Structure 1
Amino acid sequence: MKKLLSLLSLVLTVALLAVPVQPAIAAKAPTELLISAAISLKDSLDEIEKTYEKEHPDINLTFNYGSSGALQKQIEQGAPADLFFSAGKKQMDALVRAGLIGSNKTILTNELVLVIPSDSNKTFTTVKQLTDKAVKKVAVGQPETVPAGQYAKETLTARKVWDTLQDKLVYAKDVRQVLTYVETGNVDAGFVYKTDALTSKKVKIALNILSSVHSPIVYPAGVIKESKHAEEASAFYTYLQSKDAGTVFKKYGFKLN
């Protein structure tokens, strides 16, 4: 009997080993959404990213930050992107005219300010004071590609000091580089968004720029027509307009449109 049981056990073991093992079904990888966004949105979008991915575990948000003009050029040249979040209407309109973006909406607004190092004793009541001999260097974003630089140029032109300041101007690739120049004391003052100024303890706002002397500072967003994940991109686009996202944007100093 023992021999019979041993034989049966051996036969059963061999039979089980002969059964092909089914490979485990691989978990579906999250959908990666690539968002090209103005660098001034970084702090708020970094926070939104954490919340959105927690609520949508099937989505992985990847952000490509830079100046809106540089991002516009990248998209025009075929760089991959699912959604564009600009700090200027000019850049969004260019992509719409090129047929690269369809529906879009202005979600946020911002303000332009003049900042100085936090330990500076300089005071300003007008941008015309930037022409004073005591002011050696003033940082602005490249007006052609950086919306904040465009608004700064419009402001200085309106006050008739743009040409006078040419020898003092230090151009930056984006608004955060302007902020860095001021933080490190490499310039005496710089034009940034109010939201940028609020992120740093190394600068202080010396002057709030009147909105009447430059184009409206708006932040439109739109889904790229050639997105390979149009449905998911549209869902995130909708979320950016939600109350929850709005709370985060307001926390960082933006105004909802």
Structure 2
Amino acid sequence: MAHIFKGLLAGVVILGLCLPLATAQADPQPTRIAAASDLRFAMDEILENFAADHPDHPIEVVYGSSGRFRSQIENGAPFDLYFSADIAYPQALKEAGHAAGEVTPYAEGRIVIWSDAVEASALTLDSLADERFRRIAIANPRHAPYGARAQEALRASGLWETLERHLVFGENIVHTLQLVQSGAAEVGIIALSLVLHPSILDQGGYHLIDDALHAPLTQGFIITRRAADNPTARLFADYMGAAETRSIMRAYGFLLPGE
């Protein structure tokens, strides 16, 4: 029995020595970003550059509604960074103790009228009352900042009551774009950052909505409390201020802090 016990003990020791080595050789767990859908094209380019510059710091991104992400992070969703289309959401998370530091403003967005069925550059908000537009897509204003700003612009123009019965609501601003592309709506109020992507711009023109008609789309991000000791999260936060990153954001129509 003694020699059997010694053999088992040796096996345990060997296994114990191997486990740290296996852990050290395993790929690092990707840092996870929750990002507002208006960043869909810009963030993809930024992350491609980041991966090329920092191949040992993997990142995964999920796009969606800023309001939905706020609720998910409050309830423990495993995100390390949160990029919101409305800075009020990360500010609320910070006040509730869900952030590892300050809220960082990163851009201001704009809303546009867009369609691939008509020449949208010739449209105005008043044009949306035309009977040819049976369905008008906006993001859901209850949890999507771009939808809230669309609602504000329509109210300020005196059009909300007239158009409300024609509205179809996207889950987020990318879904709103897809509603127009699919024919579920003839026209939509979309993020400028989406329609400036070449693949979208080729499908139709756009009309920039006067930003005096709605509150600013000031956007901000946080490193979440769970990522307080995550070096990749802090590295990427710094990367958002890099010249190349700012150039990408500008190309998608974002106004940047300090400009």
Please report the TM-score for the alignment, with normalisation by the length of structure 2.
0.83
The separation in 2 between residues aligned to 1:123 and 1:63, in whole angstroms, is 32
Q: Which contiguous aligned blocks of 4+ residues in structure 1 show a shift greater than 6 angstroms?
A: none
Q: Closer, same or farther in 2 for the Cα pair 1:210/1:64, shift >3 Å?
A: same
Determine helix, strand or coil for the equivalent of 2:59.
strand
Q: Which has the larger radius of gyration?
A: 1
Structure 2 residue runs of 5 or longer lacking an equivalent are: 1-13
Determine helix, strand or coil for the equivalent of 1:215.
coil
Tell me the residue number matched to 1:203.
204
Which residue of the other structure, out of 48, 64, 67, is the alignment partner of 1:50? 48
Q: Deviations over 1:11-34 (max 9, x none)?
A: xxxxxxxxx9x9694425234211
The separation in 2 between residues aligned to 1:128 and 1:189, in whole angstroms, is 13
Equivalent position amino acid for 1:104 in 2: V
Tell me the residue number matched to 2:83.
85
The separation in 2 between residues aligned to 1:253 and 1:126, in whole angstroms, is 19
Tell me the residue number matched to 2:224.
224
1:30–1:57 Cα contact (<8 Å) kept: no
Tell me the residue number matched to 1:41.
39
Would you say how many aligned residue pairs link Structure 1 and Structure 2?
Answer: 235
Q: Name whichever structure is richer in strand by fraction.
A: 1
Tell me the residue number matched to 2:186.
188
Q: Closer, same or farther in 2 for the Cα pair 1:134/1:95, shift >3 Å?
A: same
1:33–1:229 Cα contact (<8 Å) kept: no
Q: Closer, same or farther in 2 for the Cα pair 1:25/1:77, shift >3 Å?
A: closer
Q: Closer, same or farther in 2 for the Cα pair 1:151/1:60, shift >3 Å?
A: same
Q: Percent of counterpart pairs with the same letter?
A: 28
The separation in 2 between residues aligned to 1:231 and 1:69, in whole angstroms, is 26
RMSD across aligned C-alpha pairs, in angstroms?
2.1
1:116–1:188 Cα contact (<8 Å) kept: yes
The separation in 2 between residues aligned to 1:147 and 1:61, in whole angstroms, is 25
The separation in 1 between residues aligned to 2:121 and 2:106, in whole angstroms, is 33
The separation in 2 between residues aligned to 1:135 and 1:226, in whole angstroms, is 46
1:115–1:191 Cα contact (<8 Å) kept: yes
Q: Aligned runs of 1:147-186 on 2, under 5 Å? A: 147-186=145-184
Tell me the residue number matched to 1:240.
240
Structure 1 residue runs of 5 or longer lacking an equivalent are: 1-19
The separation in 2 between residues aligned to 1:64 and 1:123, in whole angstroms, is 31
2:36–2:66 Cα contact (<8 Å) kept: yes
Please report the TM-score for the alignment, with normalisation by the length of structure 1.
0.84
